[in-house]
Every structure is written in C-alpha cells, then in structure tokens.
C-alpha cells in the first residue's frame, strides 16, 4: 500500500496515541484530557497556532506555508460514547461506561499525524486549519464551533471530513458524489386523553388506542406518500403509557426519529407528521401535543471536490481501492453543519471488522490501527493537491 513513507515511519507512534486516547474516552463537551492531548501534540509538532476552547472543548491548529491566501480545513471528532467496553483489549477504556466505540480516537489520531507531517514538510502553499471538534455524537459540536465564530476566526474556503467504516475492507475509501449521511430529526408526541376504569372504557378517552393507530398511520408517510425510489425512515422508538392493568391512563407519549436526504422531503415529513398526528388524535377524541426537533442536516458532498478526493485517495490505495458512490447511510453526522457553510467532502475510510461484530457503537468495536497511515496520507496528499506549492 503506497502510503507516504514519512508517515509509515511514525506508524508506531500513531498507534500509541490512538491507544492512549482509546483508553481515556470522554463524552461530548467533556473532552478536556483529549483536547489537552491534542493541543500538546500540535505545539510539539510546531504548528503555527493552537487555539483551544472553541465551541466548548474544540481545538484548532493552524499550519501555514507559502504566501497564497488559499485555505482548507480538515476536521476530526474527539468524543466517545456512553457504552461499557467489552473488547478486553489491553488498551480498553479505563473509564466504566465510557468508550470510543465510533473510532473518534482514530480520527483524532489521523488528523494529529497529518498535523505533524504538514508542520514538518510544508510542501503546500496556503493555510490549513486542523479542526478537532467536540460532541459529534448527538450534541452538535460542529455547530457549537461554528456558532463560536469558527469561520470568522479561521476563514476556510473548503472543508473535509473522514470517518472509519467497518463495512468496507481496510485499504479502501468510500467516496460519494452527493449525499453520504441522512438528516436526523426527533419527534415527541404527547397524547392527552381521559383516564378511566379499564372495565368502563366508554367513560374515558384511551390514549393507548389512539397512539397505536398513530404508530401505524405514520408509516403511510413512507409507504404511500414518498416516491419509493427516495429514502425516508420514520421510526417510533418509544411508546410510554400507563402503569396498571386495570386503568386506562390519561396520557401516552410516542418518541421517534425521521431520517432522509432531501431538504424538501424533510420539510414535508415534518409537516405531514404534524397533520397525521393531529387528525388521528381528533378521530379518537384525544389531543396530540407535538414537539419536533430538527437535528443534523444531511451530509452532502460537493461532487467536484469529491472527485478530487477520490483521485487523492487513489494515489494511496490505487483505483481499485476506491468504492464510488456506495449506498449512503441513514445514520447522521454533524459534519453536515460544516458542509452547509463551505463546500467539501466527507469520505469513508474502510477498516473492516463488521463481520466479526466490530460495528460502530458496539461494545466490541475497536478502531483498526492498520489504516492509520492511509488516513494520514490521505490528509497530507489532499492538502498538497488542493494547495499546491508553486501553484
């Protein structure tokens, strides 16, 4: 695998950093040790500027070379998950109930490796912003950094992300020319009925029956209102009501998620969910109180930049290592907030392990250290390609 030689030379150090981070996982916005680790390494590598405390625990390193005004940003995420690790590995989490089960330890390590290479070699012309963000897992650390003035302070023109992918073999990159990950929204529907004796249902208004009808009716948004060639998921994931066998309760609560790629579909799904919930409730003589929260937008690559990323990745793993336009994932990713602001691309870095159960967010997951040089080489070459020295 023709990874950059200089990067292969410090593969052992990359592995050591990755395992250190893995052993010390921290949850969203609590990444204090991790952020200090990152900032310390960046300073040791001699990057030009290190900024901490952006959007909470975010860190930005700045590396400059030459005199051009061009700039790009590379982004990694630093947070772990509230999962108890069961790998039994020597570098397993030392904190009960906390685990790097999504490989953000690997992402942070690869961007650190790139920082070291870029600060040392500086074979580019422009400014590289190395963004280490907090809270990718559900709490929108990318958005927090943007709201904390990320773009004002570090005015990058294009932005790139990388995520390990256990469903793709090591040594391959998945590159999408458009949508990569879905938008993710959350709904809570509180159904207000009238409680009564279970033996005299006609005296009350049963929120459980209304809720059951609603669970089914909501699937019509997918099955009967959406083009079958478009992706939409509506999942009811909690249905809470009642606590006695002989009492019809007063309320029920349904919680769930809506996933899709297209903004117009997202708008329509919310609007239709509200209409269906209100009207099903009306049909059963109960009230529906609907809270709908927009989560992450869809992660959508710029097709031209994605094509450049594919060429750069092919320099490392060969053309046969590029998986073009694999089916996108209905999972979500807060890098989407950065791609809403600036064009760029988010690639999947194959690492294998899915067949052995090392899936993202599983207690048996571990980042595959074998692919660290691929990721670092990709970052390094991407910078040299997009900010060419003497170009």
- Tell me the window of 31-39, 99-107, 205-213, 361-369 that interacts with Ni ion (CB under 5 A): 99-107
Q: Which is nearer to Ni ion, 179 or 254 (CB)?
A: 179
Pattern 48-87, Ni ion, x by CB under 5 A? ----------------------------------------
- Tell me the window of 101-109, 125-133, 207-215, 235-243 that interacts with Ni ion (CB under 5 A): 101-109
> What is the smallest separation between the CB atom of 267 and Ni ion, expressed in angstroms?
27
Q: Which is nearer to Ni ion, 66 or 363 (CB)?
A: 363
Q: Is 353 left (phi over 0), alpha (psi -120 to 50) or beta?
A: left
> What is the smallest separation between the CB atom of 136 and Ni ion, expressed in angstroms?
6
> Which of 73, 102, 146, 332 contacts Ni ion by CB under 5 A?
102
| Alpha helices by DSSP H, the chain | 5-9, 11-23, 32-45, 104-121, 141-147, 150-153, 207-223, 263-283, 303-317, 335-341, 372-386
> What is the smallest separation between the CB atom of 102 and Ni ion, expressed in angstroms?
3
Element containing residue 92 per DSSP (H, E):
none
Q: With CB under 5 A as the rule, give the number of residues binding Ni ion.
A: 1
> What is the smallest separation between the CB atom of 328 and Ni ion, expressed in angstroms?
15
Q: Which is nearer to Ni ion, 78 or 102 (CB)?
A: 102
Q: Which is nearer to Ni ion, 156 or 296 (CB)?
A: 296
CB 117 within 8 A of CB 123: no
Which residue of the chain is nearest Ni ion when measured via CB? 102
> What is the smallest separation between the CB atom of 244 and Ni ion, expressed in angstroms?
42
Q: Which is nearer to Ni ion, 331 or 343 (CB)?
A: 331
List binders of Ni ion among 242-281 (CB under 5 A).
none
Whole-angstrom Cα distance, residue 374 to residue 360?
A: 19
Q: Which is nearer to Ni ion, 27 or 196 (CB)?
A: 27
- Tell me the window of 21-29, 34-42, 98-106, 122-130 that interacts with Ni ion (CB under 5 A): 98-106
List binders of Ni ion among 131-150 (CB under 5 A).
none
Whole-angstrom Cα distance, residue 51 to residue 242?
A: 51
Whole-angstrom Cα distance, residue 71 to residue 126?
A: 6
Go through 207-242 and write b for each residue having 16 or more CB atoms within 10 A of its CB, e for each that does not: bbbbbbebeeebeebbeeebeeeebbebebeebebb
Q: How far is CA 45 from CA 42, 50, 261, in A?
A: 5, 11, 39
Residue 1, token pair as written in the block: 């695998």
Q: Please list, in sequence order, all residues whose beta carbon lies within 8 angstroms of the beta carbon of residue 215, skipping any fewer than 6 positions away.
A: 236, 239, 254
- Tell me the window of 84-92, 102-110, 199-207, 259-267 that interacts with Ni ion (CB under 5 A): 102-110
> What is the smallest separation between the CB atom of 85 and Ni ion, expressed in angstroms?
16
* 336 in contact with Ni ion (CB under 5 A): no
Whole-angstrom Cα distance, residue 376 to residue 370?
A: 12
Q: How far is CA 260 from CA 109, 135, 144, 184, 281, in A?
A: 31, 22, 23, 7, 25
Local structure of residue 230 (DSSP, 8 states) = S
Q: Which is nearer to Ni ion, 136 or 206 (CB)?
A: 136
Whole-angstrom Cα distance, residue 328 to residue 338?
A: 18
> What is the smallest separation between the CB atom of 139 and Ni ion, expressed in angstroms?
13
Instruction: Tell me which residues touch Ni ion (CB under 5 A).
Output: 102
């Amino acid at each position: 695998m023709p990874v950059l030689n200089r990067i292969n030379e410090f593969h052992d150090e990359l592995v050591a950093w990755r395992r250190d981070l893995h052993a010390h996982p921290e949850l969203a916005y609590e990444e204090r040790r991790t952020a200090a680790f990152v900032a310390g390494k960046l300073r040791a590598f001699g990057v030009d500027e290190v900024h901490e405390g952006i959007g909470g625990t975010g860190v930005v390193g700045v590396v400059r070379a030459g005199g051009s005004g061009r700039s790009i940003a590379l982004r990694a995420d630093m947070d772990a998950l509230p999962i108890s690790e069961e790998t039994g590995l020597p570098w397993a989490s030392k904190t009960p109930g906390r685990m790097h089960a999504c490989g953000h330890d690997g992402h942070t390590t690869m961007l650190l490796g790139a920082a070291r290479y870029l600060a040392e070699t500086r074979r580019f012309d422009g400014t590289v912003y190395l963004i280490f963000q907090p809270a990718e897992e559900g709490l929108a650390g990318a958005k927090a950094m943007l709201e904390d003035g990320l773009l004002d302070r570090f005015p990058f023109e294009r932005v790139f992300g990388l995520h390990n992918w256990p469903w793709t073999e090591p040594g391959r990159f998945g590159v999408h020319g458009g949508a990569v990950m879905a938008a993710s929204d959350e709904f809570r529907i509180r159904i207000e009925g009238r409680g009564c004796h279970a033996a005299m249902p006609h005296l009350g208004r049963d929120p459980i029956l209304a809720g059951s009808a609603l669970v089914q009716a909501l699937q019509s948004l997918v099955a009967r209102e959406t083009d079958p060639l478009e992706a939409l998921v509506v999942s009811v994931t909690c249905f809470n009501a009642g606590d006695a066998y002989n009492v019809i309760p007063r309320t029920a609560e349904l919680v769930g998620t809506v996933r899709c790629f297209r903004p117009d579909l997202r708008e329509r799904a919310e609007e239709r969910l509200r209409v269906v919930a209100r009207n099903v409730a009306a049909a059963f003589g109960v009230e529906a109180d609907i809270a709908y929260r927009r989560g992450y937008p869809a992660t959508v690559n710029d097709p031209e930049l994605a094509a450049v990323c594919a060429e750069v990745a092919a320099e490392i793993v060969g053309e046969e290592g590029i998986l073009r336009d694999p089916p996108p994932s209905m999972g979500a990713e807060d890098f989407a907030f950065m791609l809403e602001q600036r064009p760029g691309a988010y690639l999947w870095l194959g690492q294998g392990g899915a067949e052995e159960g090392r899936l993202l967010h599983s207690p048996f997951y571990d980042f595959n250290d074998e692919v660290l040089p691929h990721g670092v080489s990709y970052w390094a070459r991407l910078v040299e390609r997009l900010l060419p020295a003497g170009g």
